[in-house]
Structure 1
Amino acid sequence: MDTSYHSLKSLFAQLGLENSDEHISRFIDHNKLQNHILLKDAPFWNEGQKHFIEESLKEDADWSEVIDELDALLR
């Protein structure tokens, strides 16, 4: 099991997204979600990204905390 600390930057890198502070801020600003949409169902994910988010949350993996943080930032 991976026990390393996961940050927003590392999550963005894991998802194959640009992970500079500027890109993360821009992503959050341009991809706000309505409260009824689950993060895993957001229209901007590709299938691999969606699967990673869904499985990480389902398994309560080490990534879950930072995924929850991203979810909150997108609201």
Structure 2
Amino acid sequence: MEQHAHSMDDLFNQLGQSQDSEGILKFIQANQPLAGDVRLHNAAFWSPSQAAFLQQAISDDADWAEVVEALNSALHASA
């Protein structure tokens, strides 16, 4: 099976968020740091459909997994 490399811009577009670099940076800054015990898909700022997508991307080790993990790391990092 061929996997596709998705960018952070692609992920934010998929999540219905602003996908330009400034919008992504503002989103991350506004929502970090995410507490260490909060899984990315359980963060309060996601809609149910966004949370389901993020959870499935990780659990299925889908094409999106790498960029979702990058977002997870960015949100758990200290500002």
Pick the TM interval, shorter chain: over 0.9
CA RMSD in angstroms comes to: 1.1
Which residue type is aligned with residue 14 of structure 2?
Q
TM-score by length of 2: 0.90
Percent of residue pairs identical: 37
| Residue matched to 2:48 | 47
Deviations 1:2-24 (A, max 9, x none): 63220100000001111000000
Runs of 4+ in 1 over 6 A off after TM superposition: none
| Residue matched to 1:9 | 9
TM-score by length of 1: 0.94
Change (3 A) 1:18 1:40: same
Which 5+ residue runs of structure 1 have no aligned equivalent? Answer: none
| Residue matched to 2:19 | 19
Matched, 1:61 2:50: no
Which 5+ residue runs of structure 2 have no aligned equivalent? Answer: none
- What is the rounded CA distance, in whole Å, between the counterparts of 1:8 and 1:52 in structure 2? 15
* DSSP-derived class of the 1:74 partner: helix
